[in-house]
Amino acid sequence: MDILVCIKRIPDISGQITLNESGTNIDDSSLGHTTSAHEECAVELAIQTAAATGGTVTVLTLGPAEAVEQLRAAVGVGANDGILIEADNPEAFGPEDIASIIGDVIRDRAEEGQNFDLVLLGNDAADTGDFQVPIRLAYDLEYPVLTGIQTLSATGGSGGSGAIEAHGIGPAGTEAFSLELPAVIAVQEGGIDPRYPSITGRMKAKKARIAEYVAPEPGAGNPRIGLELPPEKASAVTILGEGRDAAGALVDILEEIGVIRS
């Protein structure tokens, strides 16, 4: 089974988050970059599924030239090659544009003889939370689509003749699906642990083939008006007392929260 995994270069926002001047994106001028947890799980699912079926894994991203770093990171853990759709201003592309461009690349590869049986994406963008590209891509390709999937296994062959079984968490608990290929699946973290690159994997990644495309001008554009930062959670500290004088107040608190009974 040949699998395409679409990933996104995002700011490493483990610390304080600030927005750019327009308020439409995260200010990443002083931040490193990484791949979201959803997409790391998608890469891992692709690697395991391809290994079980004798297939391949290709990773794709739309972004600046520096996004090749994220592609090589995926190759370092087991992907075979990468595709960079280079765009100097990736924030100008909305979900509709991105889905259309990915669809065009998939069709171009099919004309060249490479057919992807399965396309995996992260369930949503970790920096903007758009939730749109997987569904828009499925409509563009006229493929069936599943979202919120955490695990999957292959049944059957390639070239659209096989099927997959997928599981995710829904409102009523675990949900199971059987889907004929080709298909698009949006992966949510939590069902699988991504692997870390080995030394051999890192060396392989440096030499991996990265095909490059130039992104066309945005069509629909980015409809995002602005992002909002959630209000900071207020914190407070209550001093119960000092030394033995605090003992009585501490006992009262423990009784209040049910740790001890009087």
- Quote the CA–CA distance of 183 and 141 in Å, as a whole number: 9
pLDDT at residue number 132: 93
206 is a domain residue: yes
- Would 260 be classed as within a structural domain? no
Query: Is 224 within a domain?
Result: no
Confidence (pLDDT) at 135:
96
3 state SS of 196: coil
**244 C-beta neighbours (distance < 10 Å), count:** 7
pLDDT, greater one: 240 or 203: 203
Would you say residue 103 lies in a domain?
A: yes
pLDDT tens track for 129-160: 788 999 999 999 999 999 999 999 988 644 44
Percent of the chain with pLDDT over 70: 96
Q: Indicate if the pLDDT at residue 259 is higher than 90.
A: no
The string of pLDDT tens digits covering residues 104-130 is 999 999 999 999 999 999 998 877 778
CATH number assigned to the domain comprising residue 132: 3.40.50.620
CA distance from start to end of the chain: 65
Q: Is residue 23 part of a domain?
A: yes
Number of structural domains, the chain?
A: 1
Q: Specify the residue for token string 């069902």.
A: 191
Q: How far is CA 115 from the centre of its chain?
A: 22
pLDDT band of 15, cuts 50, 70, 90? low
User: Do the domain assignments include residue 87?
Assistant: yes
Look at the chain and count its residues.
262
- Whole-number Å distance between alpha carbons of 45 and 238: 47
pLDDT (tens digit per residue) in 165-197: 999 988 888 999 999 999 999 999 999 999 988
For the chain, percent of residues with pLDDT exceeding 90: 59
- pLDDT value at position 159? 44
Query: Which segments within the chain are labelled E, that is strand?
Result: 3-6, 10-11, 33-34, 57-63, 81-86, 118-122, 145-155, 163-170, 173-180, 183-187, 210-214
The dihedral region occupied by 23, where left means phi > 0, alpha psi between -120 and 50, and beta the remainder, is: left
Residue 72: domain span: 3-214
State pTM to two decimals: 0.81
pLDDT-wise least confident of 31-45, 73-87, 236-250: 236-250
pLDDT, tens digit (0-9, with 9 covering 90-100), for 45-86: 999 999 999 999 999 999 999 999 999 999 999 999 999 999
User: Has residue 242 been placed in a domain?
Assistant: no
Give domain status of residue 140, yes or no: yes
Among residues 96, 75, 100, 76, the alpha carbon closest in space to that of 85 is found at: 100
